[in-house]
Every structure is written in structure tokens, then in C-alpha cells.
Structure 1
Amino acid sequence: LLWDTTSGEELRTLEGHKNVVYAIAFNNPYGDKIATGSFDKTCKLWSTETGKCYYTFRGHTAEIVCLSFNLQSTLVATGSMDTTAKLWDIEKGEETVTLRGHSAEIIALSFNTTGDRIITGSFDHTVAVWDVGTGRKLHTLIGHRGEISSAQFNWDCSLIATGSMDKTCMLWNAKTGTHVATLIGHTDEILDVCFDYAGQRIATASADGSGRVYNAETKKCITKIEGHGGEISKICFNPKGNRILTASSDKTVRLWDAATGKCIQILEGHNDEIFSCAFNYKGNIIITGSKDNTCRIWR
């Protein structure tokens, strides 16, 4: 479902998947398209405006659990339990390349801002850096002692942050693939990591029910986010960097002040745990995807 975030008014529902919609993304900065990835092994591309489905991408042999657009809005990447990631051309509606090399499911992926690199995080404990044009693997980031849950480039593509079931977040040099720092403090698995757009801060979400914000320079924790009644599966900054959005198994999405960690708003309406949440580019629309098989858009 699409919701209006100021009024909480429901805008539209995207229907068509045959199973749980697990992954969801806007093609920011444009925001006119939404991609959904499902346990039905397909990825669908939709119009934000009309809710019409442009394409259904088929080819994965198992559930799709993560997806991402490149910033140029020419490709969408999907990661699957089949251990591969695929890149799809959103103009032509066809597959461009398959990324093979992980030995377990891919559950995180992220393009860099220039669109020439993509990273994939896997249950095999590693993160791979790939060349988007050729599908060649450039680096393997080795160091985590548990499954990878999340991986992201910062805005200038110099750093990669990875979150793991080993309760740590690691920072890596994106050019060389070398380990830079380990961020500690969570008492349970880290389920998501993200940078703000300036690349000054890193936010982490954990199964311990809390979020943390770290300074990228000092590597110190500057704010804690506490209040959810269950694990936090997703965390993201709004484009301005003054708000943080979290999605939880407590069936709510919450909006927080990024500086103080104070809760500003609780979005309620889903009737099962929420897997994903995202802001559009302007930061005035929020999209959420839940185990209740719906997506909601809030303005």
C-alpha cells in the first residue's frame, strides 16, 4: 500500500505477487518507480503514480530477498537465496548480467553512486565488490565471523559499511577492500547499516531492539535509538540527515530525531512484522513492506 505521510491517508495498493513481498525500493532521486522483490522468485517494477506494473523480472530459482536501483535509474539489482544476484535493465525489461561467486544466499546489495560498482553481502560471511559492466568480482571483504545482514557504500564511494550476525559493523576501504574499523556496542545481531548522505554518520539496527548512530570519523557512538518493542530490521536516514526511520518486528515504523534519538512519530497500520522501509528523495514519502503481504506508502 502507498500511504500519505502527513495525513496517514492511504494512496494505493500494489497487488500481484504470489507470496510475501520481502524487498522494496524507490528509484531515487526520481521516485517515479518502485521495485518489489518477492518469495515468489520474481521482481516487479511499478509506477509510483498509477500503481501499474511495468515488468515482471523472472530468472531467479529461489526467493528474492534484497534489491536496489542504481542512482542513474537504469538498472535494478536483485539478490536471491539461489546465491546469485542479477542486474536488470529497467528500460528494456531484461537481464543484463548474473553475479556468481557466493556460496550461500545473497541478502544485501548496494550500488555505489557512480553506478560502476555493486556490493553483495552473503550468508557465507563475505561481501563481494563487483564491476557492474562486466559482472567481474573485484574484491572479497573477509573478516566477519557471522552471516552478513547489510552492506552499503557511502556517498563518495570511499567507504563500505557492513553489518553482521556477529554483532559488529565493519568499515572497509572501497577502493582496496581493506578493513578500516570495527564498530561495537550492540548485544545482538546487527540487521541493517546505513550511511547518511554526507557520509558523516553510520546508523546500525539490531536484533537487540535498539539502533545506534556512529561518527564515521571518530568511530564513536553518538546517539542511541531506543523504544521499539522488538528487533529493528531496517534503518535509514532521510535525505537531509536530520531524521531516522526504523522498521521493526513490533509491527511499527518509527521516525526519530537523528541528533537526539527522540521518537517523533509512530506509523501504525501493518498487522505483521515490517521488513523494509524507505524514504523517497524529497523525504516526504515513506514506503513500508510487511509480512502481511502489503506495501504501504505514507506521505
Structure 2
Amino acid sequence: MRLKRIFLRYYPPGICLEYIQQGITKIKLLDLLDLSENTDITKLAEELIKDEPLFRSTVKTQLINSLSTLKDVNCKNKQHVFHKVASLKTHFLPVTNVALNQQGNKFISGSYDRTCKVWSLENEKEILSLSDHKNVVSSLAFNNPYGDKILTGSFDKTARLWSTESGECYHTLWGHTAEVITVQFNHQSSMMGTTSMDGTARLYELLTGQQVAVLPSDGSQFIALSFDQYGKNLITASFDGEITIWDANNYRKTGTLIGHDIEITNSVYNHDSSLIASSSADGTAKIWDVRSTNCLGTTSKIPYEILDLQFDSQGKNLATASSDGQARIWDIKTFKMVSEMEGHKDPILKVSFSPSGNRLLTASMDCTGRLWNVETGSCLQVLDGHSDSVFFSQFSANGDFILTASKDGACHMWR
């Protein structure tokens, strides 16, 4: 085995090792969830070199520098005010989706104008326009942590794999008979997943673009697909209120999570893929144990739809967004509400934690994003300036900047 590259994973803290074994490139994840301001970085590096066969003593300096960066990002408590430094008119028709690469120097945007565009966050300019789709670009993703490939899904019933650097289309992924609505890479960047309004999810090999599996939904449309951290399982969620766990190697169904009354709105893994959280239009969020498929708890029911949710990187809290314009933080062990964020005038479409987990970012149909204190629920800042619904707001992987995107066709960058 030969170590090729080391990547930092800011959220949650860890390092990703890319190595070559018998001519095949593989990925190994090392969680560093106990990283704190008191961590002795030199000692940690020495322990990792001792315990991990891929490390040699020659990488000690590089490892110390990498761990120091990781510690700095995860432990410093940034409370500064973000200022808008750029407003990019990304498309002449409404933007449908946005994604950031892990390096924090590029983002991609998809639109009703049938294009996906690649943008530089360093010089705030368009790098590429990917324009082979024949209909709305509905979904997109980077193959993080690499960030050298882009996957797009379209209402033209196809998905496409592109080069981030050249814009070359490597593969067109065929098979769906209706609009593609979500696309995802697995964390090892070896497989791609898509869901469609045709009621199926499909899996494709990254290198060849060949379809390897069709996952049926038993008659209901899938609205979410997510791979676990280790390439073992994936989950799909559907409008009939069910979440299905699939074996990522033989593509067989290994479990079904049943408990929501009506359609699921989102479903995600936690940091170590031991838990699954689901949100529903029934006004609840649930947390499930992956191994037993048991529901561990349910948040207090509210008379509004839960539209989005996310785990924090510390494995302590779950954030939910709802159609009443409020975000809520829940303790994932007690299922009690930690704090409630009131201030948006319209439904919240997306929630995301800062890398350190002490702040929450929300995007709302009231044309604003907002930054909140997780513990107190107080609003720290209003990110305004958009003229239509803000459907995306996210921190960069190291927390240095925020990107917001709106149906007005613009993306704003805040530092």
C-alpha cells in the first residue's frame, strides 16, 4: 500500500487518506471527533503514524501542519460579522441548485436555463459553462473531497459527469424515463446515484458510466438519496413516508424505516453513519439506528411541515427547518428542544451548521438568510439583498465564508 494524498475533512473533523493498493486507488477515513483546543497536535500526529500502516515517519511534518489547520478551523469560535463581498448574477433564469467544493475555491450552479456553471470564489468569475443538457438542470454535486468532477441531473431524463477543470463531459447516464431530481457521489468517488420522477433510483460506476443497479420505490417517487461514509450502505426516501436502506455492494434492500404519517422531505446520515435522521410533512423529525433500524426518538410534533434537517459535526444536535418560518435545535439523545429561532417571515428551506457547530445558517422564502446562536436561538445577523426566495445558504468547509443562492438568479458571497 502506498499513500498518495491526505485530505482534510472539516465537517466533522477527520482526515481522508487516498492510497494505492495493487494498482487500485482507494480511500480511508480517520475520524478525529475528540479534537479540541487542548489537543497536543504533535502527540496526535505521532500516535497516528504509530497506529496507521499507511503513514511513514517522513509525513510527520505534513501531518502536523494538516492537523494544526484542522484544529484551528474546528476550535476557534468565530463570532465576526459577515460582509457581502460579491454578488454574482449566475444565470438569466432562476437558479435551481448550488454546491461548494471542499477546498472552498469553487462553486457550481444549475438553472432553468439548462446550464451548469462553475465559478471561482477566488476571483469571483465564471470558469466554465456546461451546456449539453436539453432541459432544466435540477440537481448537481461535486465529488468531494477531490472536487475534480461534477455530476448534474436534468429534467431531460439524464445525468452527466463532467471534468471540473476542462468542462469535458465524461459520461451521459441513461436509463431514467422521467425527470432526474437528485444526484449524488459516494464518498469514495467510485459510484454515482440518481433519483427520478419515474419512481426509481439508479447507480452507476464512475469510471465507465455504466448502470449497475436499479432500485425500485414500490410505486412512490424517491425524493432523497444519500451514501454512508464508508461505502457500505445508502438510503433512499420517498413520498410514501418510507426510508429504505440498501447494501451498496449487492444493491439489495437491508431495511425499511417506517413511522412517518406522510411524505418524507429529507433524510441524512450523521457524521459516522450510525444514525439516520428524517424530516416529514407530518410535522416531525425522527432519528433511527442504522443497525437495528429502530426509531430512537421523535421530535415534538408541530402543526407545520418540516422541510429540512441536518446533524451537527459533534453528534450532539439536530437542526430542523419548518414552513412556519422557524428553525429548531434538538438534542439527539433526549429529543428535547435546545433552542428555537424566530425571525423569518416565510418558510425556511434549508438549515446548515457552521463547522464548529455553534452557529446555524438558515435560508428562507422571505428573501433572506440568517445566522443564529445555536445555544440561545438569538439571531446574530440577517443576510439580505436577494429579491426572491433564498433556497441555499452554506458555510465553506473551514467556515471562512458563506454562500447564499436565490431564485432571483444571483449568488452572494459573504466573508
Taking structure 1 as the reference length, the TM-score comes to 0.84
What letter matches 2:339 in structure 1? Answer: T
Contact 2:283 2:305 in 1 (8 A): yes
1:180 aligned residue: 296
Q: Determine whether 1:110 maps to 2:226.
A: yes
AA partner of residue 128 (structure 1) = T
Higher RCO, 1 or 2 (CA under 8 Å, sep at least 6)? 1
- Write the distance in 1 (CA, Å) between the matches of 2:410 and 2:189: 21
The amino acid of 1:87's aligned partner reads L
Native 8 Å contact 2:200 2:222 kept in 1:
yes
Q: 1:151 aligns with which of 262, 267, 285?
A: 267
| 51-60 vs 283-292, greater mean Cα deviation | 283-292
1:244-267, Cα deviation, whole Å (9 max, x unpaired): 333333344444443444243516
Amino acid paired to 1:65:
I
Unpaired segments ≥5 residues, structure 2: 1-89, 91-106, 108-118
In structure 2, relative to structure 1, the CA distance for the partners of 1:239 and 1:52 (3 Å cut) is: farther
Deviations 1:105-164 (A, max 9, x none): 100121111121111110011110001111101111111101011111112222111101
Query: What is the 5 A alignment of 1:4-43?
Result: 9-12=124-127, 14-16=129-131, 17-43=133-159
Within-5 A mapping of 1:1-299: 1=90, 2=107, 9-12=124-127, 14-16=129-131, 17-48=133-164, 53-261=169-377, 262-266=379-383, 268-269=385-386, 272-284=388-400, 291=407, 296=411, 298=413
Alignment partners' CA distance in 2, 1:107 and 1:55: 23
Question: Take 1:268 and 1:254, find their aligned partners in 2: how far apart are those partners?
Answer: 12
Verify the 8 A CA contact 1:41 1:60 in the aligned structure 2.
yes
Give the Å deviation of 1:181: 0.6
Q: What is the aligned length?
A: 296
Give the 3 Å change call, closer, same or farther, for CA 210–245 of structure 1 in structure 2.
same
* Bigger mean CA offset, 198-207 vs 280-289: 280-289
Q: 1:188-208 deviations in whole A, cap 9, x for unaligned? A: 111112111222111111111
For 1:57, the aligned partner's letter is L
Q: Which moved more, 1:189-198 or 1:44-53?
A: 44-53
Q: Is the 8 A contact 1:19 1:38 kept in 2?
A: yes
Closer, same or farther: CA 184–53 of 1 in aligned 2, 3 Å: farther
Which amino acid is the alignment partner of residue 94 of structure 1? Q
Provide closer, same or farther for how the CA distance between residues 18 and 122 of structure 1 changes in structure 2, counting only shifts above 3 A.
same
Q: How much identity, in percent, do the aligned residues show?
A: 44
Which secondary structure state, in structure 2, belongs to the residue aligned with residue 146 of structure 1?
A: coil
One-letter amino acid matched to 2:157: K
Indicate the larger mover: 223-232 or 13-22: 13-22
The answer on whether the counterparts of 1:203 and 1:213 sit within 8 Å (CA) in structure 2 is yes
Inter-partner Cα distance in structure 2 for 1:11 and 1:267: 23
Name the CA distance, whole Å, in 1 between partners of 2:333 and 2:352.
19
Q: Is the 8 A contact 2:367 2:384 kept in 1?
A: no
1:264 aligned partner, one-letter code: Q
Look up the equivalent residue of 1:144 and give its one-letter code: H
Does the CA contact (< 8 Å) of 1:287 and 1:295 recur in 2? no
User: What letter corresponds to residue 196 of structure 1 in structure 2?
Assistant: D
Inter-CA distance 36–281: structure 2 relative to 1 (3 Å threshold)? farther
Distance of 1:34 and 1:288 partners within structure 2: 20
Larger radius of gyration: 2
Task: Please state how far the C-alpha of 1:214 moved relative to its aligned partner.
Answer: 0.9
Relative to 1, partners in 2 of residues 1:27 and 1:211: Cα closer, same or farther, differing over 3 Å?
farther
Kept in 2: contact 1:12–1:51 (CA 8 A) = no
Moved more, 62-71 or 118-127: 62-71
Name the aligned partner's letter for residue 266 of structure 1.
L
Once the two structures are TM-superposed, the CA of residue 67 in structure 1 deviates from its matched residue by 2.7
Q: TM-score, normalization: structure 2?
A: 0.63
Over 3 Å counting, the alpha-carbon distance change for 1:175 and 1:195 in structure 2 is: same
Contact residue 24 and residue 35 of structure 1 kept, 8 A: yes
User: How far apart, in 1, do the equivalents of 2:300 and 2:183 lie?
Assistant: 27
2:279 and 2:307 in contact (8 A); partners too:
yes
The amino acid of 2:381's aligned partner reads I
Corresponding letter in the other structure for 2:285: C
